[in-house]
Structure 1
């Protein structure tokens, strides 16, 4: 049988769906697996000895030979869960941890599989301070940034710059409050806003880039898709999708060089980079999401990225 592509994600993942559809169109076998279904709907049987790892993992509808997987598209699986809602406390935590290190460890060690991205590389690259420190070494331009839990330090930083923004260090899953889905957006932070609450945890503050336009650069292997984003009426363009205009442009050579060095530094195949461009044409890196979304682009752009990812998975990192 033709070696399959394993897609690790939850059931409703519109971004993964586009890639799965492209692989199906090419008649490439695909198996979708959500570790959040383990152990109720997923069965694992992995054998390890001096010859390596063999065995299988079985979902409700498919069975995968672990040694035969050609590539893994690691998207956004649900968290590991206890085997039943009735289990709680120490027993539940034990089962969750054993599942994470058992099934998760097997899925991260498939022999010969090409990962987009490997889950441990995703994890390493999710830390914003590490992102920014690495980006600086790779020659990418960064706005002055402060990570602190010291209110006085935060106020001093805000007073030193004309405009400062706050952004979360990590985007957790949306939280439902009164049946409403909430998130934390990028917001301006005046010195007077920075009270003792800053001391409750780590915060990231950044000098606001006087951006005249934004760029989303989506990297897939050696292919770079740079999209100019215009039309956002507010600070965080993610709040205004219905107002945005998208134009696919040539990637500036300096950005291409820095982005490729950044991907190499973290061992990433895929990355979604956000830049703000000032009136002088200088691009300032905000962040790189190693598992960012892209299927919200117009079909002409989405289709090209989907094809690039399908190539990466079908040909296991060596596209034609």
Structure 2
């Protein structure tokens, strides 16, 4: 049985998991949907009540019925590398590929429909609330007066993008930024704006969830720094392993169940009272930098999950697995 990894060619994070799977003797095929049609080819047959299919890339051919799991890491958009790309060809290629893969009994990390939904930050905030995770007061609005009134209620605010990375080439990370006390909110009318109460944090927390395994790391924050986004923080402190509070663990498992995710990278801000405030959950977040600092076996944990022989169960947490050759 084979593990299929859908991601771009240059993905160091995927490389780490491929190395773990290969070391355990688990067959792996890795491809980028952006190469379909072309270097990636597929064929599926639905005849006499049965389904047979295969996907190939280079000299590798895998039967779709022989897949044990599919890791949707960071795949390209289908049919974007053809000579004459089009919206129509992209939709045709996407439906063919993902439709065939959904026809198998393979386990997903994560299912494409669940992953697409999980990207929506407003939806994340509501799921976090319903799961019992502390969520900072947040407003998403295109109404300047609503923004002004929110700022009066919560004078210390940050602004962040609703969707995440700016879609330029190459993509540009848009940092979370503190708002000046005398901010003019008139520009809110020109696009949805996410305002959130700033958490006076003493540390940043990254919690990587793989099935029911929770691996958390903590990085001390610079007190009252102008840079509130850990990605742009001047702190030189390394990430260190940290235990997950039981209440947070319970809520994270509930979040994963509601979101139907097998993997999630959760970001929290820890305040002076030790409360972990939910900021977001990235359904395909990086983990290499955490593993390098902490030594936590995140890549191996993902490889163990992918190597497991059992029916798809991404709607509930699952336990760790010892890989066998």
Match status 1:161 vs 2:154: yes
SS in 2 for 1:244: coil
SS in 1 for 2:217: strand
Aligned residues: 310
CA contact (8 A) 1:295 1:302 kept: no
TM-score (norm 2): 0.89
State the Cα distance separating 1:292 from its structure 2 match.
0.9
Match of 2:205 in 1: 215
CA offsets per residue over residues 8-63 of structure 1, 9 Å max, x none?
Answer: 10001111111001111111110001100111211110122463532101112311
SS in 1 for 2:22: helix
SS in 2 for 1:185: coil
CA offsets per residue over residues 257-292 of structure 1, 9 Å max, x none?
Answer: 000000011111111111111111111101111111
Match of 1:48 in 2: 46
CA offsets per residue over residues 227-273 of structure 1, 9 Å max, x none?
Answer: 11125552111124872321111110010000000001111111111
Cα distance change of structure 1 residues 240 and 191 upon mapping to structure 2, 3 Å threshold:
closer
Q: More displaced, 119-128 or 51-60? A: 51-60
Match of 1:199 in 2: 189
Cα distance change of structure 1 residues 134 and 74 upon mapping to structure 2, 3 Å threshold:
same
CA distance in 2, matches of 1:60, 1:197: 50
Match status 1:74 vs 2:42: no
Match of 1:286 in 2: 279
Match of 2:98 in 1: 104
Match of 1:309 in 2: 302
Consecutive unaligned residues of structure 2, counting only runs of 5 or more, are 310-317
Following TM superposition, the consecutive aligned residue runs of length 4 or more in structure 1 with deviations greater than 6 angstroms are none
Within 5 Å, give how 1:1-320 maps onto structure 2: 3-49=1-47, 51-82=49-80, 84-85=82-83, 87=84, 92-107=86-101, 109-172=102-165, 175-176=168-169, 182-190=172-180, 192-231=182-221, 234-240=227-233, 243-299=236-292, 301=294, 304-316=297-309, 319-320=321-322
SS in 2 for 1:182: coil
TM-score (norm 1): 0.90
Consecutive unaligned residues of structure 1, counting only runs of 5 or more, are none
CA contact (8 A) 1:296 1:302 kept: no
Q: More displaced, 221-230 or 290-299? A: 290-299
CA offsets per residue over residues 87-144 of structure 1, 9 Å max, x none?
Answer: 36xxx1211121122223223x042211111111111111111111111111111110
